[in-house]
Structure 1
Amino acid sequence: MTPTFTTIGLVVADMAAAAAFYERLGLKFGDDDDNHRECELAGAVKLTLDTEAAIRSFTPDWTRATGSSRVSLAFQVDSPEAVDEVVAELAAGGAVVTRPPWDTFWGQRYASVSDPDGNEVDVYATLPQ
């Protein structure tokens, strides 16, 4: 049997803030409950959000890691201008911009923000040739 990759899970401190952040990036979560939400992604993969309380319900000694983000998610948009627009919208919603939009040497307009839990989220588009 070959395992099938199906889920990316993030532990969040504030479900409403985390869900609102990712919904600004176009994801649609079900109203599962206040401790767990799921979003279907392309290719039958899903992103799940679970509160710290939900994780502690089955792992009582769980603690949040400190230091740099250990997870990075990336969202592609249609144009270099859209990178700037999306990052501005996320910043207006309270996201911290950790790497302002810039044109990379590998041919993309690229930026990074932190989600409400400090996970790095990249927004990028291919630059015109």
Structure 2
Amino acid sequence: MNAPRLDVIALVVSDMAASLAFYRRLGLDVPAEADAQPHVEAALPGGLRIAWDTEDVIRSFDPGWTRPEGGDRIGLAFRCEGPREVDAVYEALTSAGYRGHLQPWDAFWGQRYAVVLDPDGCGVSLFAPSEA
């Protein structure tokens, strides 16, 4: 038997249009007409897919599902071209009204690193290798 292969990263969202607008700003190619859909998928480099489902979709097959409290639903990390791009993307997102969680900083593990919250409060990391 072959091992399972990770194929889809799925996010549960409370507002599809708001979530997709955020992820479009990070470069994901999602058509505008997807904003009104209860389930949306987009291809990622390397063959993975990302999917968004509304809370109502999840409750349709898991009636006992409740919205998580006190933490992220999932953590995603977007690699930027370089340290300056981490700062620029963070600034662009927070200037557009998204909540910053950790301002850009030079992490001890050798990356320029920042975290912005998506519309559902999930931490989305922005990173790039630190310049030598």
TM exceeds 0.5?
yes
2: CA distance between counterparts of 1:114 and 1:8? 17
Deviations 1:70-115 (A, max 9, x none): 4210001111111111011111222111100001122211000111
Deviations 1:43-79 (A, max 9, x none): 2111100001111122222110100114210001111
Structure 1 residues 110, 119: closer, same or farther in 2, change over 3 A?
Answer: same
Is residue 2:82 matched to residue 1:75? no
Residue type at the aligned position of 2:63: P
Alignment of 1:55-70 (within 5 A): 55-70=58-73
Give the 4+ runs in structure 1 shifted more than 4 A.
30-33
Number of aligned residue pairs: give it: 129
Alignment of 1:86-97 (within 5 A): 86-97=89-100
Deviations 1:4-32 (A, max 9, x none): 11011000000000000001000012445
The equivalent residue for 2:12 is 11
Residue type at the aligned position of 1:17: A
Residue type at the aligned position of 2:61: F
Secondary structure of the corresponding residue to residue 67 of structure 1 = coil
Length-normalised TM-score, structure 2: 0.91
Is residue 2:30 matched to residue 1:24? no
Unaligned runs of 5+ in 1: none
Length-normalised TM-score, structure 1: 0.93
Q: Is the 8 A contact 2:11 2:73 kept in 1?
A: no
The equivalent residue for 1:48 is 51
Q: Identity of aligned pairs, percent?
A: 46
Q: Over aligned residue pairs, what C-alpha RMSD do you find?
A: 1.3
